[in-house]
């Protein structure tokens, strides 16, 4: 295991200590809270003790179970969080890719409002000592939750900064005890056409259930994360509630939502986007400004939110800026070939 590192990956020209202070403070004010702590600027470069919370109104037909709300409520900040300004809650929850609920960015928020994910369980199979169906509560009871503010870079060349709540994927993988034959972890999204209109559509461009996968060494990297919340709340269905993957150094499509199955395999799983178009989407999908998508450049990205008249275009960084933590995983690979 490598030691915990502090963040120093953000070009200092892009963010000032004042930005950090005002982004947190504006957030707290917008939420209508005036607490003593909100008036005290955090010591820059130090961890603040509070996680970001969205206090505005949200309405979903499903109220998260109390134990989950309580568990999320005691999440702690993480050293791995970026200090960049976070994307507002409304953008994170209303600009989504979740083809099971439609292919327009505003489809998931609209069509997943009634998604019922309680009770939820995950079926574990394959090359692991622990197999079978595990209830969400049993998955979570062994893990303390933390907030990880990560950049999310979509292959479509937009990006956001998201305050996820969850726990390291490595801790779950270790608990499931993969055998020595396990070289990959395969994830599958729920298949439930009654609840997911995209799975009933005749015009779908991808196969369901949605499948993703990681090499085991990628899966146990300290940055690979399982999210169950965002902005101090449980994860809304459009963001992949109740349980999703977050792999911040890879294009967003690797961060599979609403996981219902996990299996350990000796062979590389066939993943959804690679199956749909292997020339455009690879298994690795590491963020890489030097390898363009066949139909567009990956050298820059549009940071959300931005307006048509004032788009925030920034340079895309290799491994989405997480190179110090993950570049060693690909040291002997030709990343132009294994895109
Ligand atoms: N099951 C499933 N997972 C998915 C997707 C999807 O369509 N279905 N879209 C992916 C893509 S392309 C991106 S960019 C992210 C978006 O996550 P967000 O909506 O929480 O920002 O989810 C990923 N996970
Ligand atoms: Mo994406």
Residue 88, domain member (yes or no): yes
Distance of CA 334 to the CA centre of its chain: 26
Our count of domains for the chain comes to: 1
Residue 6, domain member (yes or no): no
Residue 2, domain member (yes or no): no
Of 149, 155, 147, which is closest to residue 250 (Cα–Cα)?
A: 155
Q: Give the strand pairing for 244-246 and 225-230.
A: antiparallel
pLDDT of the residue at 48: 55
CATH classification of the domain holding 75: 3.90.420.10
Angle at 231 between CA 226 and CA 185, to 5 degrees: 10
Residue 338, domain member (yes or no): no
Q: Tell me, using a 6 A CB cutoff, whether residue 253 lines ligand 1.
A: yes
Helix-, strand-, coil-residue percentages of the chain, each rounded to 5: 25, 20, 55
Taking the C-alpha atoms of residue 281 and residue 256, their distance in angstroms, rounded to an integer, is 15
Domain region containing 28: 13-330
Nearest CA to ligand 1 atom 24: 256
CA–centroid distance, residue 67 to ligand 2 (Å) = 31
Q: Tell me, using a 6 A CB cutoff, whether residue 252 lines ligand 1.
A: yes
Question: How many beta carbons lie within 10 A of that of residue 144, not counting itself?
Answer: 11
Report CA Rg, the chain. 19
Q: Tell me, using a 6 A CB cutoff, whether residue 257 lines ligand 1.
A: yes
Q: Among 98, 196, 198, 273, say which to mutate for ligand 1: greatest number of ligand atoms within 8 Å of CB.
A: 98
Mean pLDDT by 10 residues, the chain (339 residues): 32 38 40 39 52 90 92 97 97 98 97 96 98 98 97 98 98 98 98 97 93 98 98 97 98 99 98 98 98 98 89 96 98 97
Residue 213, domain member (yes or no): yes
CA–centroid distance, residue 297 to ligand 1 (Å) = 20
DSSP SS3 for 57: coil
Residue 4, domain member (yes or no): no
């Amino acid at each position: 295991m490598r030691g915990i590192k502090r963040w120093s990956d953000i070009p200092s020209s892009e963010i000032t200590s004042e930005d950090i202070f005002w982004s947190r403070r504006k957030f707290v004010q917008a939420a209508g809270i005036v607490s003593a702590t909100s008036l005290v600027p955090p010591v820059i470069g130090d961890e603040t003790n509070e996680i970001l919370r969205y206090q505005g109104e949200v309405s979903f037909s499903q109220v998260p179970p109390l134990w989950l709300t309580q568990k999320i409520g005691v999440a702690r900040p993480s050293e791995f969080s970026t200090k960049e300004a976070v994307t507002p809650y409304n953008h994170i929850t209303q600009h989504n890719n979740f083809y099971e609920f439609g292919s327009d960015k505003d489809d998931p928020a609209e069509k997943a409002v009634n998604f019922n994910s309680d009770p939820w369980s995950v079926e574990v199979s394959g090359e692991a000592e622990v197999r079978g169906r595990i209830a969400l509560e049993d998955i979570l009871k062994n893990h303390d939750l933390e907030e990880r503010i990560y950049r999310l870079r979509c292959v479509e060349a937009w990006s956001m900064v998201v305050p996820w709540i969850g726990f390291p994927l490595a801790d779950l993988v270790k608990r499931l005890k993969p055998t020595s034959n396990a070289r990959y972890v395969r994830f599958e999204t729920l298949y439930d056409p009654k609840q997911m209109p995209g799975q009933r559509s005749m015009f779908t461009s991808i196969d369901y259930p949605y499948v993703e996968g990681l090499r085991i060494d990628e899966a146990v990297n300290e940055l690979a994360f399982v999210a169950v919340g965002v902005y101090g709340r449980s994860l809304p269905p459009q963001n992949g509630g109740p349980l999703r993957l977050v792999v911040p150094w890879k294009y967003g499509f690797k961060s599979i939502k609403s996981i219902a199955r996990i299996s350990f395999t000796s062979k590389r799983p066939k993943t959804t986007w690679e199956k749909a178009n292997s020339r455009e989407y690879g298994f690795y999908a590491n963020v890489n400004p030097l390898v363009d998508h066949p139909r567009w450049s990956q050298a820059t990205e549009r940071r959300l939110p931005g307006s048509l008249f004032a788009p925030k275009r920034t340079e895309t960084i290799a491994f989405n800026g997480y190179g110090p933590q993950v570049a060693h995983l690909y040291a002997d690979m030709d990343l132009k070939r294994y895109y």
